Structure formats: C-alpha cells, structure tokens
Chains A and B, each alone.
Chain A
Amino acid sequence: MSELTRLTLAEARDGLGRGDFSAREITEAHLSAIEQARSLNMFITETPERALADAGAADERRARGEPLTLDGLPIAVKDLFCTDGILSTAASHILDGFVPPYESTVSAKLRDAGTVLLGKTNLDEFAMGSANVTSYYGEVENPWRARGDNRRRVPGGSSGGSAAAVAGRCALAAIGTDTGGSIRQPAAFCGIVGLKPTYGRCSRWGIIAFASSLDQAGPMTRTVRDAAIMLRHMAGHDPKDSTSAPREVPDFEAVIESGVRGMRIGIPKEYRVDGMSSELEALWQQGVNWLRAAGAEIVEVSLPHTRYALPTYYIIAPAEASSNLARYDGVRYGLRVEGNSVQEMYENTRGEGFGAEVRRRVLIGTYVLSAGYYDAYYLKAQKVRARIAQDFARAYEKVDAILTPTAPTAAFPIGEKMDDPIAMYLNDVFTVPASLAGLPAISVPAGLSGEGLPLGLQLIGRAFDEEGVLRAARVLEEAAEFTALPTMLGGSV
C-alpha cells in the first residue's frame, strides 16, 4: 500500500498544497490500489484515463497558481449518480449501456471543485439492499474479515462499493446515497465515517431515484473532517430539484473541533432492541461515556414510534420506487427484450432487467398503492411517518443530538440472510427513523467487535444541524482512536 493512499482527504489536500506530491502521483497510487483490490468488486466502472487526465489538469492549474479547492483529490462515485459520458448503471441489468449526456448536480459540484474521478462504485441494484449482494454486477466484498474466520463478508449496502473503496484505501473519499441507511450502515460495516445530510441539503438531480422523499446524497470518508470537507462541496440549493433547500451552506470544517461542552445528547430508550448483543450495548455505553467526559450532558429521551419505523419505511420506500422505476420500460434507453406486443415487451424487459429484490419491492409498492389498499397502507404509513418526525421534534426540545448504534450487528458473511428479506431489512432498524424524519445522521467507527470487525455509532441531529452532528462525531472519533486497518491491508487478523 502506497503511503499516498493512507492519507486522509484533508492531509492529501494539504500535501498537494505544499507540493509534497502531485495530483498525478496520488491518482496513480489509487489506481494501482484499485487494481490490486479488484477481486473485491468495488467498482462497476473504473475510469483510469479520465482520472489521469483530470489529475493532469489539476497539476497544471496548480502550476499556474490557480488551484481549485479540492484540486487533484481522487474520489469514487456511487454508480447511482449519473455521470456525463460515463456508463451509469444503478447496478441494474435494465440500464445496460446507459451513458447519460448529463452530470448529477452533486458529482458536478465535486468535479467543479477539482476532484478526480476514479470510477463508479458498485451498489445494491437501484440502492435496494443492505449487503451489496443484489447488484447485477456481482456482490462487493468487505475489506475486513473476522478474526479466525476466513469467510468473505458483506460491506453493507446499498453504498457497499463506496464504503469498501474508502476503507480499502482505493479512494480518499467517496459519495453515496442514503434512503434508509445506505450510507451509514455500510460505513459502520467497513469502519469508516458516513454522513447522511438533512433531506434537501444536497440536490437529488441526476441521482437515479429509488425513493424520492427519502433519497439523499452524502459523503463516505475515513475521518469526520473529511466528511465535513466533502459535504461543503456537495451541498447547496439547486433550482432543478424542487425539494432541495434554499439554505446557505456553512463551512462545516471550521466547526468540527468546537467540542460538545454544554451540548445535550439524547439516548433513546426504544433503541435497546431485543437481541442486541452485549458488546454493541457496551460500545453504545462507551459512546455515552466519551461524550459525557467531553462535557456533554446525557439525557434519556423517548422516541415512542420507533418500532413502527421499519414497517413504515417498507411501505413508503417501495411505493415510491414502484412509480420511480416505471420509466425503465425498454422504450427509450437501457435494456429492451422484444416481445410480440408492447405488453409482452414490457414484461420481458422488466422481468429480465430487474433482479429479485427490485421486483419484490416493485410488487410491494404496487400493492400498497392499489385501490382499496392505499388507505390501509400508504396513507397510514404517511401518518406514522409524521408521528416519527414528531417524536424527534419533541426530543429536540430537550437535547441537541441523539446517540444510537448504527447497525444491530457487525458485517456478516456473504450469503447469510439471503433467503430471509425480513432479517436483511432489520439491518436498517437504527438508521431508518432518521431517514423518515429527514434528519442529518452520521456513523462514526467506534471500535471493533469481539471478532475484530468494525462497529459504528450513529449521531442524529436536528434538521440542517449537520454542524452539531459533525462536532459530536469528531469527539467520538477522537475518543475512539479507531486506527485499525482492514484485514485486506494487513490489519490484525
């Protein structure tokens, strides 16, 4: 592993600024890391030529004395973001050969800041999954393995490729999307930082939609500081997305060292779910202790509708998905499987084009929106969603942020939970409530399980208070001193 790939995004930014190395050098180091880690299947499309060209341009700008803010920093982009002139697949067969003539707002902003695109990372098909096993392009392997257990493990999902790439030092940072936990859960599984911003903080324009009222782009990095840097360059109002918020983007990096003294941190009792492992419970308590030691006041809070969050999510998200995915019909782009009538062509195309999990969710979504079932399912789910948001609003009368575990377990072996969708859905039990309420939430690597696998803690903040979330996350990060390297990189086995 090259020293250059071990740098954080902030360190690399500063090193490039000092002229310690060139954009081309750090890009080449990452391209070589990607090549070595190829068996983990992190990327659907690698873009080495484009990366080297971008890096060359960055070096030239720097030589002219006109560097951009993130000039020359190599990053990876989840293949749910449309990228101009580059295959964009959503990890689905149905988007075969789809090369968009446009660039998503978030990836365009990062591009305009000078970042170098290494490639498009693997994900669960249409971001539907929690283990990155539903991709048409094959599963992604987590760079971590358990101590004394050589089974390949899932990186979490749906942003599994991005999480694995950042953990495996194949990218300084990556961007993902989070609908019910798709940034935070894989971040926890891979031992990195993953931030889901407030709904509306980043534009959804050009992101292949899964569930429009929940989807949100966010950074996946190795440090809290890096997450702050990335978010600054991803966020902002976009007139092309009616749901993006017309709000100023703060300098997140400037506040992360402000600490938590005087901050009130809530501990929701409803998150002590049945069957939570004692080591996860201990880690959670450890997090409480760290924050208290740093001067925060710890307050028990109640989020009474928490237990309804998962079923609510699994009505709303599939409902929106069933409609959002209707456009993949074989008529205009992507896969078409011919038939003897339009009806048959639709059936053939969508039958072959979508994988089992996507088909399952389209069916669920179609069902819950059907005449006669709409009130019982979709409408009721919307009402519960409002209650869940209200729970948080009440809690934030007493506290400034809420601390919970990110996921109920550490990364599990590939192949497990495959035949039980409910067990798979339970991965999102701690992440889904913040998604339904549209709140910012971050996962910070906080320690290793008994098996030597990373575990994450989640901080959930008030709407548009990413600054508070990042401040508290930075305290956890500092206290946890999470320096362990993934097994793939010679970490302790």
Chain B
Amino acid sequence: MATLQGRTGEWEMVIGLEVHAQIVSNAKLFSGASTAFGAEPNSQVSLVDAAMPGMLPVINGYCVEQAVRTGLGLKAEINLVSVFDRKNYFYPDLPQGYQISQYSRPIVGKGKLLIDLPDGAVKEIGITRLHMEQDAGKSLHDQHPTKSYVDLNRSGVALMEIVSEPDLRGPEEATAYVTKLRSILRYLGTCDGNMDQGSLRCDVNLSVRRPGEPFGTRCEIKNVNSIRFIRQAIEYEARRQIEILEDGGTIDQETRLFDASRGETRSMRSKEEAHDYRYFPDPDLLPLELDQSWVDEIKATLPELPDEKKRRFVEDYGVPVYDAGVLVADRETADFFEVVARGRDGRLASNWVIGDLFGLLNKSGLAITESPITAEKLGGLLDLIADNTISGRIAKEVFEAMWETGKSAGDIVEEKGLRQITDTGAIETAIDEVLARESAKVEEYRSGKDKLFGFFVGQVMKATGGKANPKLVNEVLRKKLG
C-alpha cells in the first residue's frame, strides 16, 4: 500500500475518480447535430442545442446502446429503467440553463474494474455508477478584451460519467485505473479516449487519513485532463492536505481546480458557495425503459476485453503475464500480436513485438497501425527462423531491412543471400580453414583452454558471413577439436 510520510507519521490517500467519457456517436445525445471534433465554432449546433424556445430533446438510441455496452464491459448492473433529470445552473455556455443528466436513477449501476499494480498484483476497483449526460458548450475568454465568446459545438454532446468507489490509494493506482478504463472504452468502441481533445476528462476526489482510520474530508479537483496531470494533482493535493492536518488544521470540503501551468490545485468554490442544482426529472423526456432482450443482444456482440484477452494470451500462447498485459493494453497491438503469434511460437512472437518492433515504433513515433512491417510479414520472418532458413542473429538484420523497405523477409533473405548454411560440407570446409589458420590457438585449446571454443565459433561465423547454422558449427567444431 502506498503511503506518504509526513512530519508526524504515515498518511494514506483515499481517491475516487469521476471520469467523463465522450460517447462515440455521430450525433449528439438529444439532437441530430454532428459531434465531429475541430469544426468551426458554432457550426454544429441544432435548434435544440441552442435551446431555442419550444425545442424539445429526443434521446439518441445509439448513445443509449453505447452506454449499455460500456456498462456491460465494466461487468456492471444495467438498470432497465432510468430517468433523465435536469441539473439547473446558469452559465453562458449552458444554453438551456440546465444540463440533462441522470441523478437518482442512472442507466448503469455497480460494476468493477481490475487494475495491474507495479508489483504484479491485480486489484479490483469498484465502479459506483455510470450515467449519461449532455456536455456544455465552451466559453472562450481570450478572444476579446472585455467580452467572452461562446462556442456551442460541444453543447449537447453525449457523455458518460463513470464514478469509481473511493478504492484508489495513490497516484499509481489512480493512473492505472484511468489507463485501464480508457483501454476498455477503446476496446468497446464507446469512447475514443483522446484526452488531448477532451474526449476523456477526469475529476479527482481525494482525502487523506492515518492508515486504518475512517475517511477524512475530501476535496474535489476538477478538470484534470491528462494521465500526467492526474499524478501531479494527486501528489500536490495530498501534500497540501497533509500539511494542513499536521499543522493542526482541518480540511474544508470544497471544489478545487487543477492549474496545469503551475502544477497545483487552488480553491474554486467552498461548500457554502456550492451550487444548488435543483435536480428534478426532466418532464420533456419519459423514463428510459430498456428490454432485457435488447441488453442481451448487445452483450452477445461485446468484443473480447483486455482481461480475458490477457488470460488467453498467457494460456494459449505461453506469453509471460507481464508481457501479455503490455500486448493487450490496446486492441490494435493485441490484434497485431495475434496475427504474428497464431500457429507460431507465441513467446517468440511476443518478444519480437514488444522488443524489436516497439523499439523501432517508439524511435519513429509511429503507432502500431502505421508500422511499415505488417503483422503478416513479421510472421513470415518468424517462419524463416523456425525452419532454420536464417538464424536469430541474421533475423535482426532482415528485420531492419524489412523496416526500411517494407519488403517481405523471404525477399530480403534471397536478395541479400542471407540463407543459412546448413550444408555440413561447406561448414566443414570453413572450419578446416579456420583451424589451419589458427593452429597455435588450436594447441592452446587442446592443452585445456576451453574458453577458446567461442573464439573458433566466432571465426567460423565471420568466415561464413554469419550465415552458418550455429548449431551445426558447434557440432562439427566439437568433433574436429576432439
């Protein structure tokens, strides 16, 4: 358990996260307007999104399906009846003067998510609920000296708010949680998880306590919008609270804002200033009722999720647990790996993907989907190793040539004449030449300097341009050196 050392002893962090995930959908939650990112300001705004008089919301069935799919992916209860409420507050980028959300009856109830800890352990984090809500627009304060501008493109975009239990105990667990949640959402295709575009945003609830004691007073930190900021905000806020408590003070329950430029949190509003949102059921919308059979249909189409895939990679391909975790973190990598590994040595495939391929991808800043070496071609390379056409060492050379040219392993081996020498006669000839040239060393070896054996292997490999089958070279050498 991660604890922090204060002046007066140990402290434990208690963290719960509220993640706002934008639902992947072409249209908004209650209007037909487009949701594409990066459009001209106010170009994707329907009459409903602008809250024109007399306009009414109509639920987008696809967004509901996406929320249910997400709930199922989080192994959560799906509530067959849920209710949309109005959350009332005034702000210029909130045209209706209320946000349509789900308050007392969300579409998804309790679920769970497994996170991998650095020590290899797996921890279960409770999901409290998932509900659907509308996003607000965006206020732009830097366009005019005295006025603010409003862009309503985001207004009405469908979000899922996913609330965790206060089960997280430090920045590692919190970031592991968000990473894992993002991975699951991407597998499901329900949120693209792009934090830099605001598709995934996070509010952090944090308190500290002495280990074993009841929960302390928490603060909510708003708008922590990258994995790095989540870590920074937690570290800063925990230290701030510990300092106050160790100085004999008390924590005020309040909403704080993370200032990314300074890496600190600061007070936004206190409990007394907290909004009274006057939630009540939206009379423009009927309760949302789902058929169990419809939920079952969605369940039947769920993709294999990271946890199951990881287990399968370990069991079916013999991939080490840690490596399997790396491979399944995103679906594209897992799919790539599986094409390489199917019918081949899974452990070798994993080593090539995680080691050599990731190395070059990282160096070039490419995603796995942009790899110049396709999964099929990497598989071809592994086949050449398996049937002794090339050695593992030559394979590295072939791999680099494949990266440069995009050609298949077979073509490169042919072009460069890298086919392994397995002809015992040719190997014997090469060995004889080496032994004749190095007769002094042969004497030394025979008089007991066993370590020279490696030297002879090296010389033979050098003489054959690395193409001699190392196993044969060893066998013949041993025989000839007696």
Kindly identify, within residues 323 to 369 of chain A, every residue whose CB is under 8 Å from any CB belonging to chain B: 323, 325-327, 329, 331-333, 342, 346, 366, 369
A189 on the B face (CB < 8 A)? no
CA distance A101 to B54 in the complex (A): 12
User: Are B56 and A242 touching (Cβ within 8 A)?
Assistant: yes
Q: Does A206 contact B (CB under 8 A)?
A: yes
Residue of B nearest to A204 (CB): B56
List chain A residues, Cβ under 8 A from B97.
323, 325-327, 329
Instruction: Give chain A residues whose Cβ lies under 8 Å from the Cβ of B88.
Output: 322-323, 326, 369
A342 CA to B285 CA, complexed, in Å: 30
Known interface pairs A206-B54, A329-B97. Does A212 touch B92 (Cβ–Cβ under 8 Å)? Answer: no
Tell me whether A242 and B284 are in contact (CB under 8 A). yes
Which of B92, B278, B283 is the one whose CB lies under 8 Å from A329?
B92
Per a CB cutoff under 8 Å, which of B53, B95, B278, B279 touches A208?
Answer: B53
Cβ contacts A290-325/B at 8 Å (1 or 0 each): 000000000000000000000000000001101101
**Residue in A82, A243, A329, A333 whose beta carbon sits within 8 Å of that of B284 in the complex:** A243
Task: Tell whether B280 is near chain A: CB-to-CB under 8 Å.
Answer: yes
B367 interface residue (CB < 8 Å to A): no
- Within 8 Å by CB of A104, from B54, B57, B276, lies B54
A158: chain B residues at CB < 8 Å are none
Given contacts A326-B97, A331-B150, contact A240 B280 (CB under 8 A): no
User: In the complex, A333 Cα to B45 Cα: how many Å?
Assistant: 15
Given contacts A208-B53, A332-B51, contact A327 B286 (CB under 8 A): no
Q: Are the C-beta atoms of B51 and A327 separated by less than 8 Å?
A: yes
Cβ-defined contact, A243 with B54, below 8 A: no
Q: Across the interface, do A212 and B284 meet the contact criterion of CB distance under 8 Å?
A: yes
State whether A243 and B286 are in contact (beta carbons under 8 Å apart), knowing that A95-B53, A331-B150 are contacts in the complex. Answer: yes
Of A100, A211, A320, which one neighbours B53 at CB under 8 angstroms?
A: A100
B286 touches A242 (CB 8 A): yes
Q: Determine if A370 is an interface residue (Cβ-Cβ < 8 Å).
A: yes
Contact with A along B40-83 (1 / 0, CB 8 A): 00000001001111111111000000000000000000000000
Contact B56 A205 (CB under 8 A): yes
Q: Are B53 and A98 in contact (CB under 8 A)?
A: yes
Kindly report which residue of chain B lies nearest to residue A213, judged by CB atoms. B283
Interface presence of B322 (CB below 8 A)? no
Query: Size range of the interface on B?
Result: 20 to 34
Chain A residues within 8 Å of B56, by CB: 204-205, 240-242
Determine whether the beta carbon of B92 is less than 8 Å from that of A331: yes
Judging by beta carbons under 8 Å apart, are B276 and A371 in contact?
yes
**Interface presence of A209 (CB below 8 A):** yes
Asked whether, in the complex, the Cβ of A327 is within 8 Å of the Cβ of B278, the reply is: no
Q: Are B52 and A374 in contact (CB under 8 A)?
A: no
User: In the complex, are the beta carbons of A205 and B54 less than 8 A apart?
Assistant: yes
Q: Report the interface size for chain A: residues with CB under 8 A from the other chain.
A: 43
Q: Is A175 an interface residue (CB 8 A)?
A: no
Q: Which residue of the partner chain A has the closest CB to B139? A: A342
CB closest chain-B residue, reference A90? B53
CA distance A370 to B278 in the complex (A): 5
CA distance A98 to B95 in the complex (A): 16
Do B90 and A102 have beta carbons less than 8 Å apart?
A: no
What residues of chain A lie closer than 8 Å to B286, measured between beta carbons? 242-243
- Interface contact A82-B58, CB-CB below 8 Å: no
A198 touches B (CB below 8 Å): no
Contact of A82 among B53, B150, B276, B278 (CB under 8 A): B53
A331→B155 CA distance, assembly (Å) = 14
What chain A residues lie within 8 Å of B98 (beta carbons)? 323, 326
Q: Kindly list chain B residues whose C-beta atoms are within 8 Å of the C-beta of A242.
A: 56-59, 284-286
Which residues on B sit within 8 Å (CB–CB) of A98? 53
Query: Judging by beta carbons under 8 Å apart, are B54 and A208 in contact?
Result: yes
Decide if B96 is an interface residue (CB 8 Å cutoff). yes
A65 to B257, CA, bound (A): 70
A-B contact count (CB 8 A): 98
B180 at the interface (CB under 8 A from A): no
Of B86, B95, B276, B280, most buried by chain A (CB within 10 Å of CB) is: B280
Residue of B90, B91, B150, B278 with most partner-chain A CB within 10 A: B278
Give the complex CA separation of A374 and B86 in angstroms.
14
Contact A327 B58 (CB under 8 A): no
Q: Are A366 and B278 in contact (CB under 8 A)?
A: yes
Residue A88 is within 8 A (CB to CB) of chain B in the complex: yes
Given the known inter-chain contacts A242-B286, A342-B92, A369-B88, please indicate yes or no for A323 contacting B278, CB distance below 8 A.
yes
Q: Are B96 and A326 in contact (CB under 8 A)?
A: yes
Shortest Cβ distance from residue A336 to the other chain B in the assembled complex, whole angstroms: 11
* Complex interface: chain B residues within 8 A of A207 (CB): 54
Q: Is the beta-carbon distance between A327 and B280 smaller than 8 angstroms?
A: no
Do A320 and B278 touch across chains, with their CB atoms under 8 A apart?
A: no
Residue picked from A240, A322, A331, A346, most chain B C-beta under 10 Å: A331
Q: How far is the CA of A371 from the CA of B59 in the complex (A)?
A: 28
Q: Which of B52, B91, B92, B150 contacts A102 (CB 8 A)?
A: B52
B90 A209 Cβ-Cβ under 8 A: no
How far apart sit A82 and B47, CA to CA, in the bound complex (Å)?
13
What residues of chain A lie closer than 8 Å to B52, measured between beta carbons?
A: 82, 100, 102, 333
Is A239 an interface position by the 8 A CB rule?
Answer: yes
Minimum CB–CB distance for A211 against chain B, Å: 7
Shortest distance between the CB of B30 and any CB in chain A (Å): 9
On whether the beta carbons of B53 and A88 are closer than 8 Å, the reply is yes
A378 CB–B CB distance under 8 Å: yes
Closest to B93 in A: A331
- Which residues in B have their C-beta under 8 angstroms from that of A333? 52-53
Residues of A431-456 whose CB lies within 8 A of B? none
Given A82-B53, A95-B53, A323-B88, A240:B58 Cβ within 8 A: yes
Contacts of A346 in B (CB 8 A): 90
Chain A residues near B280: list those with CB within 8 A: 319, 323, 369, 374, 378
CB A17 to nearest CB in B, in angstroms, measures: 34
Write out the residue numbers on chain A whose beta carbons fall within 8 Å of the beta carbon of B51. 327, 332
A329 x B285 contact (CB < 8 A): no
Q: Mark B85-105, 1 if CB is under 8 A from A, else 0.
A: 010101110011110000000
* Residues from chain A with Cβ under 8 Å of B90 in the complex: 326, 329, 346
B window 133-153: CB within 8 A of A: 148, 150
Interface residues of B in 4-59 (CB under 8 A from A): 47, 50-59
Report chain A residues within 8 Å CB of B283.
211-213, 243, 320
Q: How far is the CA of A208 from the CA of B276 in the complex (A)?
A: 26
A98, A212, A240, A323: most-surrounded residue (chain B CB, <10 A): A323
A462 to B50, CA, bound (A): 37
Closest partner residue, chain B, to A212 (CB atom)? B283
Mask of A198-227 contacts with B, CB within 8 angstroms, 1/0: 000000111111011100000000000000
Q: Which chain A positions have C-beta within 8 A of B86?
A: 323
Find residues 90-126 in chain A having any chain B CB closer than 8 Å to their own CB.
90, 95, 98, 100-102, 104
Q: How far is the CB of B91 from chain A (nearest CB, A)?
A: 8
Name the residue in A209, A327, A370 with the highest tally of chain B Cβ atoms < 10 Å from its Cβ. A327
Complex CA gap A242/B285 in Å reads 6
Report yes or no: B285 in contact with A332, Cβ–Cβ below 8 A: no
- Given contacts A240-B56, A240-B58, A333-B52, could you give 19 more A-B pairs where the C-beta distance is less than 8 Å? A88-B53, A101-B47, A102-B47, A104-B54, A204-B54, A205-B54, A208-B53, A208-B54, A242-B57, A242-B58, A243-B285, A327-B51, A327-B97, A329-B97, A342-B148, A346-B90, A369-B88, A369-B279, A371-B278
Q: Which residues of B contact A (CB under 8 A)?
A: 47, 50-59, 86, 88, 90-92, 95-98, 148, 150, 276, 278-280, 282-286
Taking beta carbons and an 8 Å cutoff, which residues of A are in contact with B? 81-82, 88, 90, 95, 98, 100-102, 104, 204-209, 211-213, 239-243, 319-320, 322-323, 325-327, 329, 331-333, 342, 346, 366, 369-371, 374, 378
29 example contacts (A-B, Cβ-Cβ < 8 A) are as follows A82-B52, A82-B53, A88-B53, A98-B53, A101-B47, A204-B56, A205-B54, A208-B53, A208-B54, A211-B283, A212-B283, A213-B283, A243-B284, A243-B285, A322-B88, A323-B88, A323-B98, A325-B97, A326-B90, A326-B96, A326-B97, A326-B98, A327-B96, A327-B97, A329-B90, A332-B51, A332-B95, A366-B278, A370-B278
3 smallest A-B Cβ distances: which pairs?
Answer: A326-B97, A369-B278, A212-B283
